[in-house]
Structure 1
Amino acid sequence: MRILFVCTGNTCRSPMAEGMFRQMALEAGLSAEVKSAGVAAIPGMSISRHAEAVLRDHQITDRLTSTAVSEELVNWADMILTLTQGHKRQLLYAFPDAASKTYVLKEYVDERENAEGELQELDGLLAERALQAALGGRLTEEDSRRITELQQRIPVYDISDPFGGSREDYEKTAAEIREALEKLLHKLLKEREQEG
């Protein structure tokens, strides 16, 4: 399995996810190639010193530099996991054919029943609201109420951005990423078990 993690500049969140998941998969015996990239990355930049320090704390010494999302990387990946909903939107705007394999990390590991259906319903209603606004119209009151209801029920899937923050901010973000990656690993191992 080839997994691509995506954030903004590929200097904080996605390289931490890449390094941590590569190590977790190796330790669990899961065959996975892991890369990361950014939707607005400047290629070849060093990752943030705090991100590097957090990875070192987890005995991860991979030499990671920033990479921009490209068609080649998108085609390489079996699964693309973004760190925020905004990253997913940007990626799908540029690479609409990747829709079937692109998820927000926390969305993909959400175990709530009907989570995917609720997200699709909300996306559809928000698209309809944008269309109506562009045409000078409005949503029905019922649809507006349903949007509010879904927004209150669906958790926020974005992983916080520590960019420019303290070492503590990076540690909090790394803990948030690690929690989601543990769920991802469990899900992938379970799928492998069911297939084999």
Structure 2
Amino acid sequence: MKRILFVCTGNTCRSPMAEAMLRKLARERGREIEVRSAGVSTVDGLPVSLHAVRVLKHRNVPVSGYSTALDGGSVIWADLILTMTTTHKRDLLQRFPQAVDKTYTLKEFVGSDKTVIDDISELEALYSEWQMKQALGQQLSSEERSRLIELEQRIPSFDIADPFGGSIDMYEHSAAEIEDALLKLLDKLERS
């Protein structure tokens, strides 16, 4: 059984919506998947956003639970970690570099453009090189810096819009983005 962890900032909007929707969609397809969610910048016990609850109820998706702070236990538990943004992914990997082979943004994981996936791999390698050089008091070469900028400009955004503090329409838009990606995720899991 696949164990999937969704990660966002506060674990009160996007990742709980993804968790609840995937649980329902997987059940409808007869797939056994364990799902959890957590936040990179939260505390345990905050309620799920009222707008997120309303959007899920509108989709007949049951939701319960409270926020959970991301910890090593959740990272170890997960077979696959899907973040809502590239920033969440970077935050997670700075804290848990051992999760690099199983951590993606949700949109990145379900994307199918090989060229974009290759560009992302190269960009991540450049970021790793940059962090290593910074730790040693060095800089990227001008060629590396130019390539990093080129890749950042070329790669499409893999971020799910953050509805926090916004209108119910913003939550609906975010939920629609998540649902579209989750349907692709289930298709991909069924093929593998």
Q: Does 1:41 align with 2:42?
A: yes
Return the TM-score normalized by structure 1: 0.89
1:61 maps to which residue? 62
- Which secondary structure does the structure 2 equivalent of 1:114 belong to? helix
Superposition RMSD on alpha carbons, in Å?
A: 1.8
Spell out structure 1 runs of 4+ moving beyond 3 A: 126-138, 142-145
Q: Which amino acid aligns with 1:106?
A: K
2:179 maps to which residue? 178
Comparing 104-113 and 115-124, the one that deviates more: 115-124
Percent identity of equivalent pairs: 49
- Which secondary structure does the structure 1 equivalent of 2:20 belong to? helix
Once the two structures are superposed, the pairs formed by residues 115-194 of structure 1 within 5 Å of their partners are: 115-129=116-130, 135=137, 137=139, 139-140=141-142, 142-191=143-192
1:108 maps to which residue? 109
Deviation of 1:131 after TM superposition, in Å, equals: 5.8
2:15 maps to which residue? 14
Contiguous gaps of at least 5 residues in structure 1: 192-196
- Which secondary structure does the structure 1 equivalent of 2:37 belong to? strand
Deviation of 1:153 after TM superposition, in Å, equals: 2.3
Instruction: Give the direction of change, closer, same or farther, for the CA distance of 1:8–1:116 in structure 2 (3 Å limit).
Output: same
Work out the number of aligned pairs and report it. Answer: 190
Instruction: Give the direction of change, closer, same or farther, for the CA distance of 1:100–1:47 in structure 2 (3 Å limit).
Output: same
Provide the C-alpha distance between the structure 1 equivalents of 2:5 and 2:151, rounded to a whole number of angstroms: 29
Comparing 61-70 and 119-128, the one that deviates more: 119-128
CA contact (8 A) 1:10 1:37 kept: yes
2:98 maps to which residue? 97
Comparing 121-130 and 149-158, the one that deviates more: 121-130
Return the TM-score normalized by structure 2: 0.91
1:194 maps to which residue? none
